[in-house]
Chains A and B, each alone.
Chain A
Amino acid sequence: MALLKIKNITYRVPEKEIFSNLSLVVEKEEVHAILGKNGTGKSTLAYLIMGCEGYVPDSGKILFEGKVINGLKLHERAQLGITLAWQEPVRFEGISVRDFLILKNKEADPSPYLEMVGLLPELYLGRIMDKTLSGGERKRIELASIVALQPKFAILDEPDSGIDMLSIQDILNVIATLKKNGASVLLITHREEIAKIADRASQICNGKIVCTGAPDNVAEYYKTRKCEICSSEECVYV
Protein backbone atom coordinates (compact mmCIF):
# COMPACT_ATOMS: atom_id res chain seq x y z
CA MET A 1 0.00 0.00 0.00
CA ALA A 2 1.39 3.41 -0.98
CA LEU A 3 2.37 5.77 1.83
CA LEU A 4 3.72 8.50 -0.44
CA LYS A 5 2.65 9.12 -4.00
CA ILE A 6 4.14 11.75 -6.23
CA LYS A 7 2.01 12.29 -9.30
CA ASN A 8 3.44 14.07 -12.31
CA ILE A 9 5.16 16.90 -10.52
CA THR A 10 6.84 19.59 -12.51
CA TYR A 11 9.17 22.02 -10.78
CA ARG A 12 11.00 24.87 -12.44
CA VAL A 13 13.55 27.38 -11.29
CA PRO A 14 14.43 30.38 -13.49
CA GLU A 15 15.75 29.14 -16.84
CA LYS A 16 15.68 25.48 -15.83
CA GLU A 17 13.14 22.71 -15.44
CA ILE A 18 14.26 20.49 -12.57
CA PHE A 19 11.39 17.97 -12.73
CA SER A 20 9.11 17.25 -15.64
CA ASN A 21 6.07 15.10 -14.78
CA LEU A 22 8.04 13.12 -12.23
CA SER A 23 6.12 10.33 -10.51
CA LEU A 24 7.17 8.08 -7.66
CA VAL A 25 5.51 5.72 -5.21
CA VAL A 26 6.91 4.70 -1.84
CA GLU A 27 5.07 1.87 -0.15
CA LYS A 28 4.40 1.51 3.58
CA GLU A 29 7.47 0.17 5.43
CA GLU A 30 9.46 0.31 2.20
CA VAL A 31 13.05 1.54 1.95
CA HIS A 32 13.23 3.22 -1.43
CA ALA A 33 16.61 4.39 -2.70
CA ILE A 34 17.00 7.33 -5.07
CA LEU A 35 20.09 7.25 -7.25
CA GLY A 36 21.34 9.94 -9.56
CA LYS A 37 24.36 12.01 -10.38
CA ASN A 38 25.07 15.37 -8.78
CA GLY A 39 22.68 18.06 -9.94
CA THR A 40 19.86 15.72 -10.98
CA GLY A 41 17.55 17.08 -8.29
CA LYS A 42 17.67 14.40 -5.59
CA SER A 43 17.85 16.91 -2.74
CA THR A 44 15.27 19.10 -4.48
CA LEU A 45 12.90 16.14 -4.47
CA ALA A 46 13.49 15.79 -0.71
CA TYR A 47 12.72 19.50 -0.13
CA LEU A 48 9.55 19.32 -2.25
CA ILE A 49 8.25 16.36 -0.24
CA MET A 50 9.18 17.99 3.09
CA GLY A 51 7.69 21.35 2.04
CA CYS A 52 10.77 23.50 2.55
CA GLU A 53 10.37 27.22 1.95
CA GLY A 54 10.46 28.06 -1.76
CA TYR A 55 9.94 24.46 -2.88
CA VAL A 56 6.45 24.25 -4.33
CA PRO A 57 5.68 22.12 -7.41
CA ASP A 58 4.46 24.10 -10.43
CA SER A 59 2.06 21.27 -11.17
CA GLY A 60 1.34 17.75 -10.00
CA LYS A 61 0.42 16.34 -6.62
CA ILE A 62 2.16 14.95 -3.58
CA LEU A 63 -0.05 12.56 -1.61
CA PHE A 64 0.68 11.22 1.85
CA GLU A 65 -1.55 8.49 3.21
CA GLY A 66 -3.89 9.22 0.31
CA LYS A 67 -4.24 12.96 1.05
CA VAL A 68 -2.80 15.78 -1.04
CA ILE A 69 -0.22 17.65 1.03
CA ASN A 70 0.86 20.28 -1.52
CA GLY A 71 -0.80 23.02 0.55
CA LEU A 72 0.66 21.99 3.90
CA LYS A 73 3.58 23.82 5.49
CA LEU A 74 6.75 22.05 6.57
CA HIS A 75 5.81 21.73 10.24
CA GLU A 76 2.34 20.50 9.30
CA ARG A 77 3.88 17.76 7.16
CA ALA A 78 6.24 16.92 10.03
CA GLN A 79 3.23 16.56 12.31
CA LEU A 80 1.80 14.02 9.86
CA GLY A 81 4.94 11.94 10.39
CA ILE A 82 7.24 13.11 7.57
CA THR A 83 10.78 14.11 8.43
CA LEU A 84 14.07 14.91 6.76
CA ALA A 85 17.72 14.33 7.64
CA TRP A 86 19.70 16.94 5.70
CA GLN A 87 22.72 16.21 3.58
CA GLU A 88 24.64 18.81 5.60
CA PRO A 89 23.19 19.11 9.09
CA VAL A 90 23.08 22.61 10.46
CA ARG A 91 24.90 23.83 13.58
CA PHE A 92 23.09 25.17 16.61
CA GLU A 93 24.59 27.40 19.29
CA GLY A 94 23.61 26.59 22.83
CA ILE A 95 21.55 23.47 22.04
CA SER A 96 22.97 20.34 23.60
CA VAL A 97 23.02 16.98 21.88
CA ARG A 98 20.69 15.72 24.62
CA ASP A 99 18.14 18.47 24.00
CA PHE A 100 18.35 18.01 20.22
CA LEU A 101 17.63 14.29 20.47
CA ILE A 102 14.52 14.75 22.59
CA LEU A 103 13.11 18.03 21.28
CA LYS A 104 9.50 16.90 21.51
CA ASN A 105 9.76 14.20 24.13
CA LYS A 106 11.68 15.56 27.10
CA GLU A 107 11.10 12.42 29.16
CA ALA A 108 12.78 10.07 26.68
CA ASP A 109 16.22 8.56 27.28
CA PRO A 110 18.38 9.73 24.36
CA SER A 111 21.30 7.35 25.07
CA PRO A 112 20.21 4.34 22.97
CA TYR A 113 19.81 6.55 19.89
CA LEU A 114 23.37 7.82 20.19
CA GLU A 115 24.71 4.31 20.75
CA MET A 116 22.96 3.23 17.55
CA VAL A 117 25.08 5.65 15.53
CA GLY A 118 28.29 4.65 17.27
CA LEU A 119 28.61 7.61 19.66
CA LEU A 120 29.15 7.20 23.38
CA PRO A 121 26.37 9.01 25.30
CA GLU A 122 28.71 9.92 28.18
CA LEU A 123 30.95 11.78 25.74
CA TYR A 124 28.31 13.42 23.57
CA LEU A 125 25.06 14.12 25.43
CA GLY A 126 26.43 17.25 27.12
CA ARG A 127 28.11 18.63 24.03
CA ILE A 128 26.71 21.53 22.03
CA MET A 129 25.52 21.14 18.43
CA ASP A 130 27.89 23.87 17.24
CA LYS A 131 31.18 24.01 15.38
CA THR A 132 32.91 22.01 18.09
CA LEU A 133 31.32 18.93 16.51
CA SER A 134 32.58 17.72 13.15
CA GLY A 135 30.23 17.41 10.17
CA GLY A 136 30.33 13.62 10.52
CA GLU A 137 29.43 13.80 14.21
CA ARG A 138 26.51 16.15 13.52
CA LYS A 139 25.38 13.83 10.74
CA ARG A 140 25.27 10.86 13.09
CA ILE A 141 23.47 12.88 15.76
CA GLU A 142 20.88 14.04 13.26
CA LEU A 143 20.28 10.46 12.13
CA ALA A 144 19.91 9.43 15.77
CA SER A 145 17.35 12.22 16.24
CA ILE A 146 15.36 10.96 13.25
CA VAL A 147 15.12 7.50 14.82
CA ALA A 148 14.11 9.11 18.13
CA LEU A 149 11.25 10.92 16.35
CA GLN A 150 9.69 7.61 15.26
CA PRO A 151 8.45 9.03 11.95
CA LYS A 152 6.14 7.38 9.46
CA PHE A 153 8.24 8.59 6.55
CA ALA A 154 11.92 9.55 6.78
CA ILE A 155 13.82 11.19 3.97
CA LEU A 156 17.54 10.57 4.43
CA ASP A 157 19.53 12.84 2.12
CA GLU A 158 22.90 11.16 1.57
CA PRO A 159 23.14 9.78 5.10
CA ASP A 160 26.59 8.40 4.29
CA SER A 161 28.19 11.71 3.25
CA GLY A 162 30.88 12.77 5.70
CA ILE A 163 30.79 9.36 7.38
CA ASP A 164 33.92 7.22 7.28
CA MET A 165 33.83 3.86 5.47
CA LEU A 166 34.20 1.90 8.71
CA SER A 167 30.98 3.39 10.05
CA ILE A 168 28.70 2.58 7.13
CA GLN A 169 27.24 -0.25 9.22
CA ASP A 170 25.94 2.35 11.70
CA ILE A 171 24.01 4.02 8.88
CA LEU A 172 22.61 0.69 7.76
CA ASN A 173 21.50 0.07 11.37
CA VAL A 174 19.64 3.38 11.40
CA ILE A 175 17.79 2.52 8.19
CA ALA A 176 17.00 -0.99 9.40
CA THR A 177 15.71 0.37 12.73
CA LEU A 178 13.47 2.92 11.03
CA LYS A 179 11.98 0.15 8.90
CA LYS A 180 11.61 -2.17 11.90
CA ASN A 181 9.73 0.62 13.67
CA GLY A 182 7.26 0.74 10.78
CA ALA A 183 8.63 3.72 8.87
CA SER A 184 9.15 4.11 5.16
CA VAL A 185 12.47 5.56 4.11
CA LEU A 186 13.36 7.57 1.03
CA LEU A 187 17.09 6.99 0.85
CA ILE A 188 19.10 9.39 -1.29
CA THR A 189 22.57 8.07 -1.86
CA HIS A 190 25.49 7.65 -4.24
CA ARG A 191 26.79 4.48 -2.67
CA GLU A 192 25.70 1.13 -3.97
CA GLU A 193 26.49 -0.60 -0.67
CA ILE A 194 24.00 1.71 1.03
CA ALA A 195 21.40 1.42 -1.75
CA LYS A 196 21.53 -2.36 -1.43
CA ILE A 197 19.63 -2.20 1.88
CA ALA A 198 16.64 -0.75 -0.02
CA ASP A 199 13.63 -2.80 -1.06
CA ARG A 200 13.47 -0.89 -4.34
CA ALA A 201 15.43 1.86 -6.01
CA SER A 202 14.77 4.53 -8.63
CA GLN A 203 17.13 6.50 -10.77
CA ILE A 204 16.57 10.18 -11.52
CA CYS A 205 17.87 11.61 -14.76
CA ASN A 206 16.93 14.78 -16.57
CA GLY A 207 14.01 15.55 -14.28
CA LYS A 208 12.34 12.15 -14.45
CA ILE A 209 12.47 8.77 -12.79
CA VAL A 210 14.00 6.69 -15.58
CA CYS A 211 14.21 3.34 -13.89
CA THR A 212 12.62 1.68 -10.84
CA GLY A 213 13.24 -1.84 -9.62
CA ALA A 214 15.50 -4.01 -7.52
CA PRO A 215 18.42 -1.99 -6.11
CA ASP A 216 21.02 -4.19 -7.82
CA ASN A 217 19.39 -3.72 -11.21
CA VAL A 218 18.97 0.02 -10.80
CA ALA A 219 22.55 0.35 -9.54
CA GLU A 220 23.77 -1.51 -12.60
CA TYR A 221 21.62 0.74 -14.79
CA TYR A 222 23.05 3.77 -12.94
CA LYS A 223 26.61 2.62 -13.53
CA THR A 224 26.18 1.91 -17.25
CA ARG A 225 23.96 4.98 -17.78
CA LYS A 226 21.67 3.27 -20.26
CA CYS A 227 19.26 6.10 -19.97
CA GLU A 228 16.18 5.98 -22.15
CA ILE A 229 15.85 9.74 -22.13
CA CYS A 230 19.34 10.23 -23.41
CA SER A 231 18.93 7.38 -25.93
CA SER A 232 22.57 6.73 -25.47
CA GLU A 233 24.80 4.42 -23.45
CA GLU A 234 26.67 7.47 -22.14
CA CYS A 235 24.24 9.93 -20.61
CA VAL A 236 24.62 13.38 -22.06
CA TYR A 237 23.29 14.91 -18.89
CA VAL A 238 26.11 13.72 -16.63
Chain B
Amino acid sequence: MSELEDLMKVFGESGGDKSILGIHDIAHLVASGHKILSMRAVEGIEVKAEETATGIDANIRILEGIILKHPVHICFGVLHKKGIQEIKMNVQLEKDSSAEFIAHCIFPKAEKVRHIMDAVVEIGENSKMKYSEIHYHGISGGIEVIPKAVVKVGKNGRYLTDFSLTTGRVGKLGIDYTVEVGENAVTELIVRVFGHGNDEIKIQEKVVLKGENSKGLIKTRVAIEDKSQAEITGITEGNAKGARGHVDCLEIIKDGAVGKAIPIVSVSHPLAKVTHEAAIGSVDKKQLETLMAHRLTPEEAVDIIVRGILK
Protein backbone atom coordinates (compact mmCIF):
# COMPACT_ATOMS: atom_id res chain seq x y z
CA MET B 1 0.00 0.00 0.00
CA SER B 2 1.42 3.45 -0.91
CA GLU B 3 1.88 6.20 1.67
CA LEU B 4 -1.03 8.10 0.06
CA GLU B 5 -3.28 5.06 0.36
CA ASP B 6 -2.19 4.58 3.98
CA LEU B 7 -2.94 8.19 4.82
CA MET B 8 -6.26 8.22 3.01
CA LYS B 9 -7.29 5.04 4.79
CA VAL B 10 -6.87 6.79 8.16
CA PHE B 11 -8.39 9.96 6.68
CA GLY B 12 -11.51 7.95 5.83
CA GLU B 13 -11.57 6.38 9.30
CA SER B 14 -11.37 9.84 10.87
CA GLY B 15 -14.49 11.01 9.05
CA GLY B 16 -12.90 12.38 5.87
CA ASP B 17 -14.34 11.70 2.45
CA LYS B 18 -11.71 9.77 0.50
CA SER B 19 -13.51 10.26 -2.81
CA ILE B 20 -12.57 13.96 -2.91
CA LEU B 21 -9.15 13.11 -4.34
CA GLY B 22 -10.79 11.86 -7.50
CA ILE B 23 -13.17 14.77 -7.99
CA HIS B 24 -11.76 17.24 -10.49
CA ASP B 25 -13.54 20.38 -9.34
CA ILE B 26 -12.43 20.01 -5.70
CA ALA B 27 -9.06 21.43 -4.68
CA HIS B 28 -6.90 19.48 -2.27
CA LEU B 29 -3.49 19.21 -0.69
CA VAL B 30 -2.31 16.01 0.99
CA ALA B 31 1.02 15.76 2.78
CA SER B 32 2.64 13.12 4.94
CA GLY B 33 5.56 14.37 6.99
CA HIS B 34 7.49 16.58 4.58
CA LYS B 35 6.25 14.82 1.43
CA ILE B 36 3.49 16.21 -0.75
CA LEU B 37 1.48 13.18 -1.81
CA SER B 38 -1.27 14.80 -3.83
CA MET B 39 -2.33 18.29 -4.79
CA ARG B 40 -4.90 19.87 -7.07
CA ALA B 41 -5.97 23.45 -7.74
CA VAL B 42 -9.23 24.42 -9.39
CA GLU B 43 -10.23 27.49 -11.37
CA GLY B 44 -9.90 30.64 -9.28
CA ILE B 45 -7.45 29.20 -6.77
CA GLU B 46 -3.68 29.09 -6.94
CA VAL B 47 -1.90 26.52 -4.85
CA LYS B 48 1.88 26.48 -4.64
CA ALA B 49 3.43 24.03 -2.27
CA GLU B 50 6.96 22.78 -1.83
CA GLU B 51 8.69 20.32 0.39
CA THR B 52 11.26 21.51 2.89
CA ALA B 53 13.64 19.50 5.06
CA THR B 54 11.09 19.20 7.84
CA GLY B 55 7.74 20.01 6.29
CA ILE B 56 5.79 21.89 3.68
CA ASP B 57 5.63 25.51 2.58
CA ALA B 58 2.27 26.25 0.98
CA ASN B 59 0.83 29.38 -0.57
CA ILE B 60 -2.86 29.41 -1.36
CA ARG B 61 -4.51 32.30 -3.12
CA ILE B 62 -8.19 32.70 -3.89
CA LEU B 63 -8.51 35.15 -6.73
CA GLU B 64 -10.66 38.27 -6.71
CA GLY B 65 -14.39 37.65 -7.07
CA ILE B 66 -14.07 33.86 -6.84
CA ILE B 67 -16.67 32.06 -4.76
CA LEU B 68 -15.49 28.48 -4.37
CA LYS B 69 -18.40 26.05 -4.66
CA HIS B 70 -16.67 23.22 -2.85
CA PRO B 71 -14.43 23.28 0.23
CA VAL B 72 -10.69 22.96 -0.25
CA HIS B 73 -9.62 19.73 1.44
CA ILE B 74 -6.34 19.58 3.29
CA CYS B 75 -4.89 16.50 4.86
CA PHE B 76 -1.68 16.64 6.87
CA GLY B 77 -0.34 13.75 8.84
CA VAL B 78 2.52 11.70 10.14
CA LEU B 79 1.87 8.00 9.95
CA HIS B 80 5.07 6.91 11.65
CA LYS B 81 5.72 6.71 15.38
CA LYS B 82 8.37 9.41 15.24
CA GLY B 83 8.66 12.48 13.11
CA ILE B 84 8.28 16.17 12.62
CA GLN B 85 6.01 18.11 10.34
CA GLU B 86 6.41 21.85 10.06
CA ILE B 87 3.80 23.50 7.89
CA LYS B 88 4.14 27.08 6.80
CA MET B 89 1.00 28.26 5.14
CA ASN B 90 0.13 31.58 3.59
CA VAL B 91 -3.49 31.99 2.62
CA GLN B 92 -4.79 35.00 0.80
CA LEU B 93 -8.36 35.68 -0.15
CA GLU B 94 -8.52 38.52 -2.59
CA LYS B 95 -11.38 41.02 -2.62
CA ASP B 96 -14.97 39.68 -2.96
CA SER B 97 -13.98 36.03 -2.69
CA SER B 98 -15.19 33.18 -0.53
CA ALA B 99 -13.67 29.83 0.38
CA GLU B 100 -14.08 27.06 2.87
CA PHE B 101 -11.20 24.86 4.00
CA ILE B 102 -11.53 21.52 5.73
CA ALA B 103 -8.28 20.29 7.22
CA HIS B 104 -7.74 16.82 8.66
CA CYS B 105 -4.62 16.36 10.76
CA ILE B 106 -3.83 12.71 11.28
CA PHE B 107 -1.34 11.20 13.72
CA PRO B 108 -2.62 7.71 14.53
CA LYS B 109 0.61 6.10 15.78
CA ALA B 110 2.46 9.11 17.17
CA GLU B 111 4.84 8.32 20.00
CA LYS B 112 7.28 11.16 19.40
CA VAL B 113 5.81 13.45 16.80
CA ARG B 114 5.82 17.26 16.47
CA HIS B 115 3.30 19.00 14.23
CA ILE B 116 3.88 22.70 13.89
CA MET B 117 1.57 24.91 11.86
CA ASP B 118 2.51 28.47 11.20
CA ALA B 119 -0.19 30.22 9.19
CA VAL B 120 -0.57 33.76 7.92
CA VAL B 121 -4.00 34.53 6.57
CA GLU B 122 -5.16 37.66 4.83
CA ILE B 123 -8.82 38.10 4.04
CA GLY B 124 -9.62 40.87 1.59
CA GLU B 125 -12.53 43.29 1.54
CA ASN B 126 -15.96 41.59 1.37
CA SER B 127 -14.34 38.16 1.50
CA LYS B 128 -15.23 35.18 3.61
CA MET B 129 -13.15 32.29 4.84
CA LYS B 130 -14.24 29.33 6.89
CA TYR B 131 -11.55 26.99 8.22
CA SER B 132 -12.31 23.75 10.04
CA GLU B 133 -9.47 21.68 11.47
CA ILE B 134 -10.18 18.21 12.73
CA HIS B 135 -7.47 16.25 14.51
CA TYR B 136 -7.31 12.50 14.66
CA HIS B 137 -4.77 11.26 17.19
CA GLY B 138 -3.84 7.84 18.47
CA ILE B 139 -3.84 6.63 22.03
CA SER B 140 -0.21 7.06 23.07
CA GLY B 141 -0.19 10.82 23.68
CA GLY B 142 3.31 11.18 22.29
CA ILE B 143 2.48 14.11 20.10
CA GLU B 144 3.02 17.82 20.25
CA VAL B 145 0.71 20.04 18.23
CA ILE B 146 1.57 23.72 17.92
CA PRO B 147 -0.79 25.62 15.64
CA LYS B 148 -0.11 29.32 15.26
CA ALA B 149 -2.07 31.69 13.06
CA VAL B 150 -1.96 35.41 12.44
CA VAL B 151 -5.06 36.55 10.58
CA LYS B 152 -6.11 39.91 9.17
CA VAL B 153 -9.73 40.33 8.20
CA GLY B 154 -10.45 43.21 5.84
CA LYS B 155 -13.47 45.49 5.66
CA ASN B 156 -16.79 43.57 5.61
CA GLY B 157 -14.83 40.33 5.78
CA ARG B 158 -15.67 37.14 7.64
CA TYR B 159 -13.30 34.65 9.26
CA LEU B 160 -14.75 31.61 10.97
CA THR B 161 -12.63 28.83 12.37
CA ASP B 162 -13.42 25.63 14.19
CA PHE B 163 -10.62 23.51 15.71
CA SER B 164 -11.56 20.09 17.03
CA LEU B 165 -9.33 17.59 18.88
CA THR B 166 -11.67 15.19 20.58
CA THR B 167 -10.50 11.83 19.24
CA GLY B 168 -7.57 10.06 20.85
CA ARG B 169 -4.98 11.61 23.15
CA VAL B 170 -4.18 15.30 22.81
CA GLY B 171 -0.56 15.03 23.91
CA LYS B 172 0.76 18.57 24.17
CA LEU B 173 -1.28 21.25 22.46
CA GLY B 174 -0.26 24.89 22.18
CA ILE B 175 -2.71 26.95 20.14
CA ASP B 176 -1.79 30.57 19.48
CA TYR B 177 -4.20 32.52 17.26
CA THR B 178 -4.33 36.27 16.71
CA VAL B 179 -7.03 37.82 14.57
CA GLU B 180 -7.19 41.48 13.64
CA VAL B 181 -10.68 42.48 12.56
CA GLY B 182 -11.38 45.40 10.26
CA GLU B 183 -14.38 47.65 9.72
CA ASN B 184 -17.74 45.82 9.73
CA ALA B 185 -15.84 42.55 9.71
CA VAL B 186 -16.66 39.50 11.82
CA THR B 187 -14.64 36.68 13.30
CA GLU B 188 -15.65 33.61 15.23
CA LEU B 189 -13.07 31.27 16.76
CA ILE B 190 -14.25 27.96 18.13
CA VAL B 191 -11.99 25.39 19.80
CA ARG B 192 -13.08 22.03 21.19
CA VAL B 193 -10.63 19.72 22.93
CA PHE B 194 -10.95 16.61 25.09
CA GLY B 195 -7.89 15.88 27.22
CA HIS B 196 -7.05 12.55 28.87
CA GLY B 197 -4.14 10.96 30.69
CA ASN B 198 -1.44 13.56 31.29
CA ASP B 199 -2.30 15.70 28.25
CA GLU B 200 -1.28 19.35 28.41
CA ILE B 201 -3.52 21.87 26.72
CA LYS B 202 -2.61 25.50 26.32
CA ILE B 203 -4.83 27.71 24.21
CA GLN B 204 -4.36 31.39 23.60
CA GLU B 205 -6.68 33.22 21.26
CA LYS B 206 -6.63 36.93 20.71
CA VAL B 207 -9.11 39.05 18.79
CA VAL B 208 -8.31 42.67 18.11
CA LEU B 209 -11.42 44.58 17.06
CA LYS B 210 -9.70 47.32 15.14
CA GLY B 211 -12.35 48.50 12.71
CA GLU B 212 -15.62 50.31 13.38
CA ASN B 213 -18.53 47.93 14.04
CA SER B 214 -16.24 44.92 13.98
CA LYS B 215 -17.40 41.84 15.84
CA GLY B 216 -15.60 38.91 17.47
CA LEU B 217 -16.47 35.76 19.36
CA ILE B 218 -14.03 33.41 21.05
CA LYS B 219 -15.75 30.21 22.11
CA THR B 220 -13.75 27.47 23.82
CA ARG B 221 -15.06 24.14 24.98
CA VAL B 222 -12.66 21.86 26.82
CA ALA B 223 -13.23 18.67 28.77
CA ILE B 224 -10.34 17.20 30.74
CA GLU B 225 -10.05 14.02 32.74
CA ASP B 226 -7.46 11.85 34.50
CA LYS B 227 -4.41 14.05 35.19
CA SER B 228 -4.66 16.31 32.19
CA GLN B 229 -4.28 20.06 32.42
CA ALA B 230 -5.72 22.97 30.46
CA GLU B 231 -4.99 26.66 30.49
CA ILE B 232 -7.17 28.79 28.27
CA THR B 233 -6.57 32.44 27.61
CA GLY B 234 -9.14 34.38 25.60
CA ILE B 235 -8.19 37.96 24.82
CA THR B 236 -10.42 40.49 23.14
CA GLU B 237 -9.61 44.13 22.58
CA GLY B 238 -12.31 46.58 21.53
CA ASN B 239 -10.52 49.50 19.93
CA ALA B 240 -13.11 51.14 17.69
CA LYS B 241 -16.57 52.63 17.71
CA GLY B 242 -19.32 50.02 17.66
CA ALA B 243 -16.91 47.10 18.17
CA ARG B 244 -18.52 44.16 19.95
CA GLY B 245 -16.67 41.19 21.35
CA HIS B 246 -17.40 38.22 23.56
CA VAL B 247 -15.23 35.54 25.17
CA ASP B 248 -17.03 32.36 26.17
CA CYS B 249 -15.06 29.60 27.87
CA LEU B 250 -16.41 26.39 29.36
CA GLU B 251 -14.19 23.71 30.90
CA ILE B 252 -15.49 20.48 32.36
CA ILE B 253 -13.13 18.88 34.83
CA LYS B 254 -13.14 15.23 35.89
CA ASP B 255 -10.95 13.09 38.13
CA GLY B 256 -7.63 14.79 38.97
CA ALA B 257 -7.58 17.14 36.00
CA VAL B 258 -6.77 20.80 36.50
CA GLY B 259 -8.28 23.62 34.48
CA LYS B 260 -7.59 27.31 34.30
CA ALA B 261 -9.36 30.02 32.30
CA ILE B 262 -8.03 33.52 31.80
CA PRO B 263 -10.40 35.84 29.98
CA ILE B 264 -8.77 39.19 29.23
CA VAL B 265 -10.94 41.95 27.87
CA SER B 266 -9.88 45.48 27.18
CA VAL B 267 -11.61 48.43 25.58
CA SER B 268 -9.95 51.59 24.34
CA HIS B 269 -12.94 53.26 22.69
CA PRO B 270 -15.94 54.51 24.70
CA LEU B 271 -18.38 53.09 22.14
CA ALA B 272 -16.90 49.62 22.07
CA LYS B 273 -18.13 46.77 24.26
CA VAL B 274 -16.52 43.47 25.17
CA THR B 275 -18.00 40.85 27.48
CA HIS B 276 -16.81 37.52 28.81
CA GLU B 277 -18.06 34.41 30.58
CA ALA B 278 -16.01 31.53 31.90
CA ALA B 279 -17.14 28.46 33.75
CA ILE B 280 -14.87 25.72 35.07
CA GLY B 281 -16.00 22.80 37.12
CA SER B 282 -17.52 19.41 37.19
CA VAL B 283 -20.52 18.48 35.11
CA ASP B 284 -23.55 20.66 35.88
CA LYS B 285 -25.54 18.94 38.64
CA LYS B 286 -28.94 19.77 37.23
CA GLN B 287 -28.00 18.56 33.75
CA LEU B 288 -26.75 15.34 35.31
CA GLU B 289 -29.90 14.83 37.40
CA THR B 290 -32.15 15.60 34.43
CA LEU B 291 -30.49 12.89 32.37
CA MET B 292 -30.48 10.43 35.28
CA ALA B 293 -34.21 11.07 35.76
CA HIS B 294 -34.43 9.85 32.15
CA ARG B 295 -32.96 6.51 33.28
CA LEU B 296 -29.36 7.14 32.29
CA THR B 297 -26.64 5.95 34.65
CA PRO B 298 -24.32 8.68 36.04
CA GLU B 299 -21.58 7.51 33.64
CA GLU B 300 -23.89 7.63 30.60
CA ALA B 301 -25.16 11.07 31.63
CA VAL B 302 -21.64 12.53 32.01
CA ASP B 303 -20.65 11.05 28.65
CA ILE B 304 -23.62 12.65 26.88
CA ILE B 305 -23.01 16.06 28.50
CA VAL B 306 -19.31 16.06 27.65
CA ARG B 307 -19.91 14.90 24.08
CA GLY B 308 -22.58 17.59 23.78
CA ILE B 309 -20.30 20.46 24.71
CA LEU B 310 -17.57 19.19 22.39
CA LYS B 311 -19.94 18.78 19.44
Contacts and interface: CB of A to CB of B under 8 A. Distances in A.
A84 interface: yes
Interface string A138-166: 00001001000100000000000000000
Given A50-B293, A83-B294, 9 more contacts: A50-B289, A75-B296, A75-B301, A78-B293, A83-B293, A90-B290, A92-B308, A93-B250, A93-B308
* Residue of B291, B301, B305 with highest tally of chain A CB at under 10 A: B291
Contact of A78 (B284, B294, B308, B310): B294
A74 B293 contact: yes
B307 A84 contact: no
A210 B307 CA distance: 46
B295 A78 contact: yes
Contacts of B285: 53
Interface string B277-311: 00000001111011111111110010011011111
A94 B298 contact: no
A127 to B, nearest CB: 13
A75 B307 contact: no
A230 interface: no
B304 A103 contact: yes
Interface string A83-111: 11010011011110000000110000000
Given A53-B285, A86-B286, A90-B284, A95 B293 contact: no
Contacts of A95: 304-305, 308
* Residue of A75, A82, A104 with highest tally of chain B CB at under 10 A: A75
Interface of A: 50, 52-53, 74-75, 78-79, 82-84, 86, 89-90, 92-95, 103-104, 142, 145, 149
B301 to A, nearest CB: 8
B281 to A, nearest CB: 15
Interface residues of B, number: 24
* Residue of B287, B293, B307, B311 with highest tally of chain A CB at under 10 A: B293
A92 B292 CA distance: 14
A78 B301 CA distance: 13
Nearest to A129: B308
Contacts of B298: 75
Contacts of A75: 292-293, 295-298, 301
Nearest to B286: A90
B292 A74 contact: yes
19 contacts: A50-B289, A53-B285, A75-B295, A75-B296, A78-B292, A78-B294, A78-B296, A79-B295, A86-B290, A89-B290, A92-B287, A92-B305, A93-B311, A94-B309, A95-B305, A95-B308, A103-B294, A103-B295, A149-B294
B294 A145 contact: yes
Contacts of A78: 292-296
Main secondary structure on B side of the interface with A: helix
Contact of A104 (B289, B296, B308, B311): B296
Given A78-B295, A104-B295, A53 B289 contact: yes
Contacts of B305: 92, 95
Interface string B227-256: 000000000000000000000001000000
Contacts of A145: 294
Nearest to B291: A103
A83 B295 CA distance: 8
Given A93-B309, A94-B307, A94-B311, A103 B296 contact: yes
A84 B286 CA distance: 12
Contacts of B293: 50, 74-75, 78, 82-84
Contacts of A53: 285, 289
Nearest to B284: A90
Contact of B310 (A52, A92, A94, A149): A94
Contacts of B304: 95, 103
A149 B295 contact: yes
A55 to B, nearest CB: 10
B214 to A, nearest CB: 24
Contacts of A94: 307-311
A158 B286 CA distance: 17
Contacts of B291: 103
B289 A52 contact: yes
A52 B294 CA distance: 13
Nearest to A83: B293
A206 to B, nearest CB: 28
Nearest to B305: A92
A103 B289 CA distance: 14
Nearest to A90: B286
A187 to B, nearest CB: 16
Contacts of A142: 290
Nearest to A95: B308
Contacts of B309: 93-94
Contacts of B296: 75, 78, 103-104
Contacts of B250: 93
A73 B229 CA distance: 31
A84 B297 CA distance: 15
Nearest to B309: A93
